[in-house]
Amino acid sequence: MLRTILYFYLGILSFPGLAQAQSTEQSRPADTIAEDSNHIINEINCTPSTNSGMTLSWKVTGKIPEFFVMERSDNGRSFEVVTVLNNLGARSVYQWTDEAPKKGKSFYRIRYSFEEGQALYSKTVPFFIAGYTSFKFYPNPVDHILIVRSDTPVDVQITDGNGKTRLTEPRVQGLHTINVSSLEKGIYLIRFSNKLTNVISQEKLVKN
């Protein structure tokens, strides 16, 4: 009976007209999942992307599943479907980017199966995007000197539109200045990382 229910659940995702209705189903107790003991999906990681999103990356050992269903939760128990990836080919690393991750702590996992077999799940990985900030930076837009004020030690990184790191300042705390004269005029991403709490915050920075 359980397998029949799973077939029906997976089948719904194949019909575009029902995709929206499916996304509203957000409750699936954690004790009903079947984590894959063979670890077909491995080396799964969450990292911040250059557009204020979150990128999930993973590798596949052995046969490639029929599809990947990306699921997200804010409590690690009740998950929602955020997208489905199918028509997959062999790759060294698979990636998917959540363009609008939730503020605070989120949990991600990947559901998959083989030829209408039992639904399997990757391990669950956490990711945190600060909903508040314990720092300030100004002026923005900036000309030559950027002022950063932080209550706790943070690593500051400025990257350009191609994701290339242009400036870094480790363990900034209190009142700190950063000379940004070497940056060309344009829009950059400034990222603050607290390694003690694993909190990552990022904002747009405009250089005059």
- Give the CATH number for residue 194: 2.60.40.3080
Residue 174 has pLDDT above 60, yes or no: yes
How far apart are the two ends of the chain, measured CA to CA in Å?
64
Mean pLDDT over 22-39 rounds to 49
Q: What mean pLDDT is reported for the chain? A: 79
Please write the tens of the pLDDT for every residue from 102-141. Answer: 777 789 999 998 776 778 899 899 887 765 456 789 999 9
| CATH code for the domain in which residue 114 is found | 2.60.40.10
Residue 81 has pLDDT above 50, yes or no: yes
Residue 146 has pLDDT above 60, yes or no: yes
Mean pLDDT over 75-86 rounds to 91
pLDDT band at residue 207, thresholds of 50, 70 and 90? very high
pLDDT band at residue 204, thresholds of 50, 70 and 90? very high
**Domain shared by 28 and 75, yes or no:** yes
* Whole-number Å distance between alpha carbons of 131 and 67: 32
**Domain shared by 143 and 197, yes or no:** yes
More confident residue, 190 or 32: 190
Sequence letter at residue 72: R
* Whole-number Å distance between alpha carbons of 186 and 1: 58
Q: What is the pLDDT, as a whole number, of residue 50? A: 66
pLDDT band at residue 29, thresholds of 50, 70 and 90? very low
Q: Which residues contact 142 (CB under 8 A, 6 or more apart)?
A: 180, 205, 206, 207, 208
**Domain shared by 125 and 139, yes or no:** no
**Domain shared by 98 and 187, yes or no:** no
* Whole-number Å distance between alpha carbons of 133 and 51: 18
**Domain shared by 113 and 30, yes or no:** yes
Q: Supply the angle between the helices 2-12 and 16-23 in degrees, to the nearest 10.
A: 110
**What is the span of the domain harbouring residue 153?**
135-207
**Domain shared by 140 and 50, yes or no:** no
| Closest of 103, 152, 111, 96 to residue 127, by C-alpha | 103
Tell me which of 104, 129, 154 is where a domain ends: 129
Q: Which residues contact 154 (CB under 8 A, 6 or more apart)?
A: 135, 171, 172, 173, 192, 193, 194
Tell me which of 80, 100, 129 is where a domain ends: 129
pLDDT band at residue 21, thresholds of 50, 70 and 90? very low
Q: What token pair was written down for 193? A: 């990382």
Do 206 and 187 touch, CB atoms closer than 8 A? Answer: yes
Residue 189, classified by CB atoms within 10 Å of its CB into exposed (0-12), middle (13-18) or buried (19+), is buried
Q: What is the pLDDT, as a whole number, of residue 19? A: 38
Q: What is the pLDDT, as a whole number, of residue 104? A: 72
